[in-house]
Amino acid sequence: MDADRRPPGRPGARRLRHGWWPAVLALSVAVSSLAALALPAVLAGAVDRALADGAAAGLVPLALVLGLLTAAEAMAQYAGPCGTAGTTARLRAGLFRHTMAAGPYPAERRATGDLVARLTASTAEGALGAQAAVYAVAQAVMALGAVVALGLLAPELAAAFVVTAPLGYLLMRRHVRRTTAGGVGYQQAQAAVAARLLDALAGSRSIAADGTADREIARILQPVPELSRHGRTLWDSQRRVAWLTGLLAPATQLAVLSVAGHELSRGTLTPGDLVAALGYTALGLGGFGTAQSLLDLARARAGRTRVREVLGVPLPPPGLRRLPDGPGRLELRGVGVRRAGTALLDGVDLTVAAGNCTAIVGSSGAGTSLLTAVAGGLLAPDAGVVLLDGVPLDEVRPDDLRTAVAHAFADPVLTGPTILDCLRAGAPGPTAERVRAAARAAQADAFLRRLPAGYGTAVADAPLSGGQRQRVGLARALTRDARLLVLDDATSSLDSVTEAAVLRAVDAGHGHRTRLIVTRRASVAARADTVAWLDGGRLRACAPHAELWQQDAYRRLFGSDRDENGGGGGGGDSGGGGCGDGPDDTP
């Protein structure tokens, strides 16, 4: 069926079907347990009847019970993996959605490797919980039912079982606790190794250039002894449980068999009862199988604990207000952002009139990128408010906000199967001509058409340089009909000639949009109507570039670029944008 013609609600129905598997497993295991408890009694009746008169009538109930047991076990073996796989998928989807919903500036930032480990290993471990709980309960109920059945055959049989078996359960409880603690530690050490490995892979060029590969290998492997220690704890717990149950099971069987033989010699038990006693003893000893189920449950608890640590971080509530049509007037009022008790932005007041261009400049660490993230709604400020056409951004519906604001970054991530899909991402049904017009404005059309399949080239197969990736990212932003365009150092990898051509095309074709441009080049700042100068998270000045250029401290922001570009451009009319009172503008 064509993807566009699928009936609505299909994914929800699929999730519903997956959600039934734990219930199917529980029902199958319950039926299997009842059949297993009935089997020794039915078998005893068949044996006694066969010994008494040689009749085969007892075989019919036996065949029925065996058939029911086989069918229920087969269904349980199928439902268990299906339920676990479905739960794993739901945990991963929930964890991924929560991580993405937290945005690029989450309240609690975790290392990428740690998140990857939680998304892969911890979710898989956590998904074992339902299956392990079902089997643990079933095994415990069967063990209890077996003891009751032994007591009904002869109280002495139940007494012989109870004398030897409880010690095994006490030992299992102790080792389950060790497994829970070891499971959490093991997964944490796994995450530490993964985080270090991903960091090293991201910086592989620097590592190769510096010749520090051996040192990086040592750093990556540093948590391995801790990983090994927790791994040995887990395996030791399983080994001890297997060893202890291996010793207790024969002892229990021997005790019950001795008592059953004595009762048979006295005539209080029939041969069929002896067979039933052996069967119920085996079922009772199956309670030791709860050891593995409880160990799986402990591992699942450890995995879910690590998943809940991420899911427990509160998300900002999504806005519910529709964003009315507007020209794109942007206002920041008393905006502040704090992390770990430090003010990264402090009391920023900035107004950008509709259709105007404001350059954001500052030294490294001044908060320029953070300011654009707040202005574009990627980060909610800890203090103050951001308004777009008079509406606070935190009240706007996410879909409306993403339609109204387009971002381009210094190091864009290109998503989608093909380049064309990448350029269309987030834009509501742009035409092919609109996409190509945006690519031409970003000076990307020429090299995109030269790719093996042109715009249809797979993103993974497109050999793009850093500057080309920037231009594709910029074209993606321009494809959207946004009223606010945020360029966070989005032309930093371009040479000055290409950058000038890009900015001219943006001014010509998208000059009606309100633009925020983070830059470290004087030539770009000179093209803006107004320059907002950040210093240590505070707005030091807001004025045209030509006016600010008179200050030594401002010129020093651009380094060697100032000699070439400093006097080349004057700022536009500053009347279109305004800034609140900042510190003294003198250097």
Q: How far apart are CA 522 and CA 568, in angstroms?
A: 9
As a whole number of Å, the CA-based R_g of the chain is: 35
pLDDT at 576: 43
Is 196:115 a contact under the CB 8 Å cutoff?
Answer: no
Q: How far apart are CA 245 and CA 167, in angstroms?
A: 10
With helix as H, strand as E and coil as C, how does 423-462 read? HHCCCCCCCHHHHHHHHHHCCCHHHHHCCCCHHHCEHHHC
pLDDT at 286: 72
What is the block-wise mean pLDDT of the chain (587 residues), using blocks of 10 residues?
Answer: 38 51 90 90 82 70 89 92 89 89 76 81 87 88 86 83 65 60 72 80 78 84 84 73 65 75 79 82 74 76 87 84 93 91 91 94 91 92 94 92 92 89 82 90 93 91 90 92 92 89 88 92 93 94 94 88 45 43 35
Q: Kindly state the tokens that stand for 370.
A: 């953070």
Q: Kindly state the tokens that stand for 20.
A: 């039934």
Q: Does the pTM of the predicted model rise above 0.75?
A: no
| Dihedral over Cα of 477, 367, 572, 560: its sign | negative
Q: How far apart are CA 280 and CA 274, in angstroms?
A: 10
First vs last Cα of the chain: how many Å apart?
Answer: 67
Task: Please state at what angle helix 432-441 crosses helix 496-510, rounded to 10 degrees.
Answer: 130
Q: How far apart are CA 8 and CA 11, in angstroms?
A: 8
Q: How far apart are CA 440 and CA 522, in angstroms?
A: 24
pLDDT at 546: 94
Q: Strand pairing partners for 458?
A: 418
Buried b (16+ CB within 10 A) or exposed e, 87-102: bbeebbeebeebbeeb
Is 69:39 a contact under the CB 8 Å cutoff?
Answer: yes
Give all strands (DSSP E) within 127-221, no chain letters.
none
**DSSP string of 44-76?**
HHHHHHHHHH---TTHHHHHHHHHHHHHHHHHH
Q: What are phi and psi of 378, to 5 degrees?
A: -80, -20
The domains of the chain, with CATH numbers, are 14-311 (1.20.1560.10), 330-411+484-579 (3.40.50.300)
Residue 78: CB atoms within 10 A of its CB come to 14
Q: Minimal CA–CA distance to 146: which of 289, 324, 302?
A: 289
pLDDT at 171: 59
